[in-house]
Each structure stands twice: as structure tokens, then as C-alpha cells.
Amino acid sequence: MGMKKKFFIETYGCEMNKSDTIDISLSLQESGYEPARSEREADVVILNTCAVRENAEERILGRLGYYRSLLKTNMRHNPGSRGTSSPRILTPRNTPPLIVLAGCMAQERGEEIARLFPEVGVVTGTYHLLEIPKYVERFEKERAHQIALDRSSYHFSPYRGQRAETFRAWVTIMKGCSNFCSYCIVPYVRGPEVSKRSVDVIQEVEELAAKGVVEITLLGQNVNAYGRDNGDLSFIDLLERIHSIQGIRWIRFLTSHPKDFNEEIIKRISLLPKVCRHIHLPLQSGSDRILRLMNRKYTIGYYRSVLEAIGRHLPSASITSDLIVGFPTECDEDFLSTLDAARTFRFDDAFTYRYSERPFTKAANLREKVPEEVVRQRLEELIACQRSLSVEKNNAEIGTTQVLLVERESKKNPQELLCKTETGKMVVVKTDARPGDFIEAEISGISGSTLRGTELRNIGNN
């Protein structure tokens, strides 16, 4: 009697999805729910989904299959549960949880999945994530599927200061994308670029700082496009305003589009010491021909000029990137150009992917596909190349003294803590500092892909 209902969220995909999960969680807690430790304790299970790559969708479909198998098992042991309008899984709480499919894959394939998996009672696309409690309530009353996929309106999170994850927070400054890269489904599932009002962004950061947040990450599919849709501040103007907020120590941002990144922005960032010297700048391909087919709107020459400007004004910055192999029509020469770009630009790290055909996109109509075996070989070669470069980059850190932000306990050794450098690299250190503290440490070695450090002093978080 009086026991609160519980929810459990499974999150797939990018930082934007992880940020959305925070809002989903807060909206459910505001409606009287509390978090569950696992799906077996939950009254509501939400799958916050990704549609950027086919393998992400396959994982989610596999997970739905897992819930279906649990349903069948529980129905055999609980025959009285049959006959509901949407069959659900019995849990140790003796109540069947409602399955909610949310996010990008829901926006793309929600109606289809609702037909294939009647276990899913609620489907909410990217425009209705904050309304999940409302649709859950409707399902409970009507015992009928609830599907919300229209894109008539979008509302940014109202929770602002509540979105802190102890000492750090993501701050969404815009949603959607208007670039229409020919391989990317994001504009179709998240809609066009819409910037949050700068006054709201600044107020959110101020509230987070007042609650002890020391590190924020500004989020957008293309943060450099901030303000263009509504005539508000430009991205660099916003960055300068945020830099003046007391209490914030480190500022990060994701993701920049190379076509919108230029020397003037880089110069102004160099005057902002709180902005971390780590820039994620997706290249995608080293071939100008493939970049044109991808509709990326820049050339290798322009990308090189941006990196050279970073080198002049932010010489200590680390650069990470995204690279795709196997784009339709990619020939050996195109791939070798990508390999050469990786070796020339010497990224600190790069996320490497095989091309994934996505519905709605122009690239899906290109007929000349690269054979799967060729794609696999190219990806393996690119991964090996980047792994070697990353090891060289990490080895160069040994002997340097750096300021680190303490993040959490190391999974391998609870006596050590996992920390992060300003340039975004992970370091394991034995320290008595607490998560959220800053320490100064000497980088003393490497363990796998993680650096090891020796603490020199505890700076704290003031």
C-alpha cells in the first residue's frame, strides 16, 4: 500500500540520447515514479532508442525479443495474465511492466514496431519524450496502445538546474539538424535545427553552477549553427557569455561541423581558458569525391586549414574525429585517401564506422555498394592505423603534469579513481580526492588505452 511505481530506462546511442534520458527520468519522477535498479523491478520500462546505424536498431530489436521471451515464460507460470489488451511481463513486484519505445528509432519505425511487438504499449518519438508520463497514464486507463509520432511542436527541457549529475551536466543548446548529409537519418527523426533561447541556456548554466556543477558539456547536432535559426547569439558569443559564469570550471561542446568551424572562432576560444582544449571534428572521409557525395560541404583542404588554425591558436588541443568506410561507390583510391588523412592529421582518437544504409537518405539510392568483405577489411585496416596513432599520442603524455577532474571509482581497482584530462583522456590515479575534485598529477604510464597518473596535489573544486 502506498508503494511508488518504478521505472527503468535503457539508453542507446549518442550523448544527446543520454541527455534525453535525464529528462525522461525527471519527468517520471515529477509524476510520482522512482527509479528501479533493473527492469525486473520496474512498472514501466523505457527503451530510449537510436536509429543512426543499423546495428543499433538490431540491438534494440534483440532487446524487444528478450522482453517477448520473458513475457512468454511469465505467461506460462502466470496463466491469469493472459487476455490483456497489450501483454506485459510479470515482475517480482507481481505487476506487469509497461514497455515504452522512445526516441529516434521510435520516430522512424514506431508504428511498424508496435505491430511487430504488441508487448510495446507506448511509442513516443523525439518530439514527445517529456510527455511519456501522460501517455503511460492514458495506456493504464484505456488499455490501448498510445503512439505519439507527430512533429507539430517541440519543447526544450523545463528542468534546468535539476539536470545536474552531481558535479557535471549536459546542457542541450539546440535540437535537430538541417545539414542533410546524404548518409544521415538525424534530420528526418529529430527535425530541423532549433536553438534554445540564449537567456534560457545562460539561466540553466547559472542554476547548475549554483548546485555545485563544475563541468558542463554544451550539446547539439551542430553546435556551431547555434542561433542561426532565430537570430539569437552566435555559438561563440554564447560560449563567451557562459565562460563568465562563476563556479563553472570546465566547458566542453559537442559536436562541431567542419564547414562551420573557422579561424575566428578558434581565436576567440583561445581567449577562454575554461573551454577545454579538446575538439571533436568529424571528418568522415579523406576523399573529396566521397565528401561531395556525402554532402558534407567542405573539402580536405578546408578541413586541413581548420586543423592548422587550431594548431596555431590552441597548440595543446586534442583532436578526435569520426570516419566512415564503405560509403557507396568508395573505391580503393578513396579509402587510401581516408587512411592517408588519418595518418596526416594524427587524431588523438577516432570513432570508425562502416557505412550503414539508412531510410530516407539520398545515399540509400546509390546503387554501387561496396562488397561487405571489402568494407570489413578496410575498417580493420583503419582501426589498426588509428589504434597505433592513439598509442603514440598517449605515450607522448608520459612525464607531463596535468590537471585532472576526478570522475568515479575505477572498475578494475576500487582503490583507484578514474579521472579525465582537459583534453578528454582518461587517467587512473590512486587518490583520496572525491568525484568532482580537481587534482594535479604526473602522467606515469599507460594501461591499455587508459593513462596512469601519480597525484601531486589535491586542488579541490573551488
Q: Are the C-beta atoms of 121 and 100 separated by less than 8 Å? A: yes
What is the 3-state composition of the chain as percent helix, strand, coil, each rounded to the nearest 5? 40, 25, 40
As a whole number of angstroms, the distance between CA 359 and CA 371 comes to 20
Please give the DSSP secondary-structure letter assigned to residue 284.
Answer: B
Residue 75 has pLDDT above 70, yes or no: no
As a whole number of angstroms, the distance between CA 459 and CA 462 comes to 8
Compute the average pLDDT of residues 187-196. 96
pLDDT-based confidence at 95, cuts 50/70/90? Answer: low
Q: Is the pTM of this model over 0.85?
A: yes
Written as one letter, the residue type at 37 is: R
- Give me the CATH topology for the region 6-148: Rossmann fold (3.40.50)
Q: Which candidate, 256, 430, 356, places its Cα nearest to that of 52?
A: 356
Among 60-69, 274-283, 354-363, whose mean pLDDT is lowest? 60-69
Q: Are the C-beta atoms of 145 and 86 separated by less than 8 Å? A: yes
Q: Which candidate, 132, 128, 112, 3, places its Cα nearest to that of 60?
A: 112
Compute the average pLDDT of residues 321-330. 98
As a whole number of angstroms, the distance between CA 248 and CA 213 comes to 7
Among 69-73, 83-87, 93-97, whose mean pLDDT is lowest? 83-87
Question: What pLDDT score was predicted for residue 82?
Answer: 39
Residue 117 has pLDDT above 60, yes or no: yes
Residue 77 has pLDDT above 70, yes or no: no
Give the cell for residue 416: 583507484
pLDDT-based confidence at 221, cuts 50/70/90? Answer: very high
Domain 311-396 sits in CATH at 3.30.750.200
As a whole number of angstroms, the distance between CA 172 and CA 163 comes to 11
Give the cell for residue 139: 495506456
Beta pairing, strands 98-103 & 44-49: parallel
Please give the DSSP secondary-structure letter assigned to residue 97.
Answer: P
Model pLDDT for residues 429-452, shown as the tens digit of each residue? 999 999 999 999 999 999 888 999
As a whole number of angstroms, the distance between CA 55 and CA 37 comes to 26
For cell 547555434, the residue is 226
Burial of 138 (0-12, 13-18, 19+ CB in 10 A): middle
Q: Which residues contact 220 (CB under 8 A, 6 or more apart)?
A: 172, 173, 174, 175, 193, 226, 253, 254, 255
Question: What pLDDT score was predicted for residue 393?
Answer: 96
What radius of gyration do the chain's Cα atoms show? 23
As a whole number of angstroms, the distance between CA 161 and CA 288 comes to 44
Please give the DSSP secondary-structure letter assigned to residue 80.
Answer: G
Beta pairing, strands 250-254 & 215-219: parallel
pLDDT-based confidence at 84, cuts 50/70/90? Answer: very low
Compute the average pLDDT of residues 230-258. 97
- Percent pLDDT > 90 in the chain is 88
pLDDT-based confidence at 97, cuts 50/70/90? Answer: confident
Residue 47 has pLDDT above 90, yes or no: yes
> 21: cis peptide before it, omega within 30°?
no
Cα distances (angstroms) measured from residue 206 to each of 197, 332, 422 = 14, 51, 21
Residue 1 has pLDDT above 70, yes or no: no
Q: Which candidate, 423, 440, 425, places its Cα nearest to that of 310?
A: 423
| 162-276 and 401-460 agree in CATH topology | no
Compute the average pLDDT of residues 194-198. 97
Which residue intervals of 117-221 are DSSP H helices? 132-142, 186-190, 198-210
For cell 504499449, the residue is 121
Question: What pLDDT score was predicted for residue 81?
Answer: 46
Q: Which residues contact 62 (CB under 8 A, 6 or more apart)?
A: none
Give the cell for residue 366: 546509390
Q: Which residues contact 94 (CB under 8 A, 6 or more apart)?
A: none
> Coil, strand or helix: which one is 43?
coil
Beta pairing, strands 417-421 & 426-429: antiparallel
Residue 69 has pLDDT above 90, yes or no: no
> How high is the mean pLDDT of the chain?
93
Please list, residue by residue across 139-149, b when 16 or more beta carbons sit within 10 angstroms of its beta carbon and e when fewer do.
beeeeebbbbb
As a whole number of angstroms, the distance between CA 140 and CA 15 comes to 31
Q: Which residues contact 27 (CB under 8 A, 6 or more apart)?
A: 129, 130, 131, 132, 133
Q: Domain ranges in the chain? A: 6-148, 162-276, 311-396, 401-460
Residue 90 has pLDDT above 70, yes or no: no
Model pLDDT for residues 160-181, shown as the tens digit of each residue? 999 999 999 999 999 999 999 9
Residue 76 has pLDDT above 60, yes or no: no
Model pLDDT for residues 371-404, shown as the tens digit of each residue? 999 999 999 999 999 999 999 999 999 999 999 9
Residue 73 has pLDDT above 80, yes or no: no
As a whole number of angstroms, the distance between CA 212 and CA 219 comes to 20
pLDDT-based confidence at 368, cuts 50/70/90? Answer: very high
Q: The domain 162-276 is classified under which CATH number: 1.10.10.10, 3.40.50.300, 3.30.750.210, 3.90.650.10? A: 3.30.750.210
pLDDT-based confidence at 116, cuts 50/70/90? Answer: very high
- Give me the CATH topology for the region 401-460: OB fold (Dihydrolipoamide Acetyltransferase, E2P) (2.40.50)
Compute the average pLDDT of residues 275-291. 98
Compute the average pLDDT of residues 79-88. 47
Cα distances (angstroms) measured from residue 434 to each of 60, 132, 420, 458 = 36, 35, 13, 10
Model pLDDT for residues 199-210, shown as the tens digit of each residue? 999 999 999 999
- Percent pLDDT > 70 in the chain is 94
